Structure 1
């Protein structure tokens, strides 16, 4: 397991937590609500019972003419309610009649209307109690008037009942949450089965098997599968391109390497100094050809990969062409070729990697000198604006290229004639790759004589931050 996967929880665990944690919070909230409801219910239940006891005490005292309530009645009441019961009866004139003389004293603001029981909380001998005060009008010779009956009881059983009800509720909620968690886990595992199948399908792919995934998946995962299939398609194309390039490169390099080996062996076996010198000259020439070929192979790979697309300020096309053409002046003079440069009347800024742009211009000029001006002549370089594009037109007065081969020459390792100078047919394909990477193109212009090639590059528009819009678009890609 990688460090990243160890830090990141699984999707299964994340879904489980997102489903179960809210359920637990709901259960806790329900338990709190249930606790308050249980307290209210036990309070109402015991208050109603306490009120009944107050009426029973009042009638018992009347019947017994002020005697104590019978022990059997008190025992039955305590057995029913669970907590000890205390009472006090006072006559209409406030005279103590029977019961406990140290009854809890209600607050002075407590209003006790006749015939209506009034409840209050208090303490009795340091223990919390619940009391009820009841005033009843009794027409009797001993109790003539409003007789006050006060009954109180400790609240231990009330609290026990509340806790019991809450405990039952919590147990039920825990049972529900536990059952739901098990069902959630089972459902998540079943719901994630398509993703597990997708993982298995991706795991079966390899560098030699990049077939698209055809397994049915949910609608939410379909865009991911489409993206994976698109990635597989691009990988297939890249692998095919790489394999073809490696095969062609190996084929092209085989002859120069064999020539170098043969020239080296011939130099070793030469019997005269002049013969050895001639063989060494041939060896040096073959090494230069191999160096040129390897350089072109590397540039072709860089141009196709876009590894030269690092952001640089836009450059004026005319100075670029002039700098590259200046390097070919000694060669042109030796071949009796006139190189003419017609600059643009205005700066034409083009975005891209300067080295790769110079490589494209160099290949165009080299192609013109090698094939169009092999026996002298004129090579024309024209820089101009064509709408939103900056164009470099390279014209020679050589034999030209047949119209049917105007696209073929931009392919890899394509040569229309035997190249004794060590070319490998990659120059124009490098130019096209660089141009297309920059948003332009290169093509052959139909002319009556010679060959004319035109390189077109988009003109970069300067922005307020000093960068160009073309650079910005490249960065967005």
Structure 2
């Protein structure tokens, strides 16, 4: 038994174009942010490298100036030149091997130089000077001069304002470039998406042109990703078109079939009202009753056919198919006895259980019996109902000894409003509208079964086959 889906994906609400744009742009923004952070780190590294190299050159210049002047201070002209090149104030301190300060500033913090520092390689470090962060370089040089007494230590430091300014300048330039690239990419992506979804807009226009009177397939060229959707829609249009055609045909045929009984009822009523003879009035009233009965039967069959075609198979339950057939045979027995027809039921001892709707299955069996009594056992005889199991199916054979159905019409009799030429034992055409067997087949199909004519030499045999409980494929919507 086919069940509906239990889990449904929540549909995406909003613009598909905007969704694609966001899905594409967000990764680009993330990449831009990562690139900006990386560029800032590179800018800091670059500015520090440049300024450290310059600071090292300044330390060498200060050392040479102090050596030349034998410990005199660096001239203001030289300091101004160095500051003009580097941008930040420069401070220096030159000390001899014994700790004597030979030249420079003496207010630097204590213990900023590691005590175990003996290497002659430049040593860069940071500290706070006058409440401002500074960058310093330490050089140790051996000077063979009595005044310097061997190893001389040169310490030069500088504020970091220009370093940070250079880093921010490089970062701003990088961000401007990334922003321009991002804006250009966003505009390009938006235009690309707009052009990319153009086939969907064309498809929407094609669908909007469809109407109940125009359900032809969509033949526009669409991308491969949308082609399955278009094929599904075309399949839906085809089914809708077939269903509308079926409904229109059904309504037209039903109106045509109802018109005759209604006209007959009106004619019989007028005749009964106009006659003065009591016997004729009684005869007309009997004809009126028969016409009303035919109209009632036709209305019931039309409703049954519509219910069978669009049944959602509610109230489905396991049913004893043998008991259903026996109940309907007892219900039909009085009408059969009036026609001189004997009904025989042959069923296995073990019951046949099917899964289905009780009302619809009773309607199907009743139509089979009515069809046999109306068109098969027209001159009396026997009506045999045989039940048996065939693999995983319950089989009902309804056999009569009447004129039978020609082999060429074995499928035609299941069409709606189709009646084969046939007369009753009174020589009159049998009443009916040709819906009985169509109803039976529709109900059988709704229960996962079938109904067909079984050829035989004498009489007619119609078979109703339904899957047994546990193997049913009941149709649901």
What is the TM-score normalised by the length of structure 2? Answer: 0.91
Structure 1 residue 438: Cα displacement: 2.4
1:41 aligns with 2:46: yes
Q: Distance in 2 between matches of 1:270 and 1:190?
A: 82
1:76 aligns with 2:85: no
Residue matched to 2:446: 437
Higher relative contact order (CA 8 A, sep 6+): 2
Matching of residues 37-436 of structure 1 within 5 Å: 37-107=42-112, 109=114, 111-271=116-276, 278-305=283-310, 307-310=311-314, 312-416=316-420, 417=422, 422-436=431-445
Distance 1:412 1:394, change over 3 A: same
**Which secondary structure does the structure 1 equivalent of 2:472 belong to?**
helix
The question of whether the paired residues in 2 share the 8 Å contact of 1:348 and 1:385 is answered with yes
Q: Distance in 2 between matches of 1:437 and 1:6?
A: 32
Count of aligned pairs: 463
Structure 1 residue 404: Cα displacement: 3.0
Q: Distance in 2 between matches of 1:269 and 1:385?
A: 59
Distance 1:251 1:226, change over 3 A: same
Structure 1 residue 56: Cα displacement: 0.6
Structure 1 residue 474: Cα displacement: 4.4
Q: Distance in 1 between matches of 2:447 and 2:149?
A: 115
Distance 1:334 1:276, change over 3 A: same
**Which secondary structure does the structure 2 equivalent of 1:390 belong to?**
strand
Q: Which runs of 5 or more residues in structure 2 are unaligned?
A: 1-9
Structure 1 residue 106: Cα displacement: 4.6
Q: Distance in 2 between matches of 1:64 and 1:244?
A: 119
The question of whether the paired residues in 1 share the 8 Å contact of 2:345 and 2:386 is answered with yes
Deviates more, 1:374-383 or 1:73-82: 374-383
The question of whether the paired residues in 2 share the 8 Å contact of 1:112 and 1:135 is answered with no
The question of whether the paired residues in 1 share the 8 Å contact of 2:392 and 2:471 is answered with no
The question of whether the paired residues in 2 share the 8 Å contact of 1:138 and 1:145 is answered with yes
Q: Distance in 2 between matches of 1:33 and 1:250?
A: 81
The question of whether the paired residues in 2 share the 8 Å contact of 1:336 and 1:376 is answered with yes
Q: Distance in 2 between matches of 1:363 and 1:263?
A: 28
Q: CA RMSD in A?
A: 2.3
Residue matched to 1:465: none
**Which secondary structure does the structure 2 equivalent of 1:338 belong to?**
strand
Q: Distance in 2 between matches of 1:125 and 1:253?
A: 110
Structure 1 residue 28: Cα displacement: 0.6
